[in-house]
Amino acid sequence: MTGWGSHELQRIQDGDPQAWRRLIERAHGRLYRFLLHLTGCPEDAEDLVQEAFVRLWERRLDWRFTHLRELQAWLHRVVHHCAVDRARRLQRAAAAPGEAELHPVASPADAIAARSDEARAVWEAVQALGDIHRLPVLLHYFGGLGCAEIATVLDVPRGTVISRLHTARARLRETLSAQGVTGYELSTAGE
């Protein structure tokens, strides 16, 4: 989502439908991929992306963004909060018998079953990380955010994000090496 200036953001705030459409086209893919990896369900990921865009539109007059990167970080923060809120609602519904019927969803591992065993092993290793390390990995490698933006999304210092990514990469290398999976290295670019 590079190449946009404050004039494009202002056009969106002013209600310009073409500017709004361009923003959705540019942001949708990254948000969807991040949420798909977070939720494991394509339908939930799409619903949450739509919810984030609705929130963005409703709050456009309150924006204080001067750069698109700030808006991108805010969107990732919103979709993360939407996903957490949805998970809490599902947990409450599951705890209240008879109020809601929950249907199991296919895991992301099922979605990549056609891929190689190595790709599946990498995915499972990422999923096995605790939230504190998995979320920065997902935001960085699947959401395309840099450490400063991840820090904004997670509301932690940039140094904490760098440390968590470093620890996550070390754990992933260790886990994958123990499984005999080699050749996968997560880049440190963007830190």
pLDDT-derived band at 103, boundaries 50, 70, 90: very low
pLDDT confidence of residue 166? 92
Average pLDDT, integer, range 33-62: 85
Which domains does the chain possess?
1-105 (1.10.1740.10), 108-191 (1.10.10.10)
Least-confidence region, from 3-17, 94-108, 153-167: 94-108
> Residue by residue, what is the 3-state secondary structure of the chain?
CCCCCHHHHHHHHCCCHHHHHHHHHHHHHHHHHHHHHHHCCHHHHHHHHHHHHHHHHHCHHHCCCCCHHHHHHHHHHHHHHHHHHHHHHHHHHHHCCCCCCCCCCCCHHHHCCCCCHHHHHHHHHHHHCCHHHHHHHHHHHHCCCCHHHHHHHHCCCHHHHHHHHHHHHHHHHHHHHHCCCCCCCCCCCCC
pLDDT confidence of residue 99? 41
Given a cut of 60, whether residue 33 has pLDDT beyond it is yes
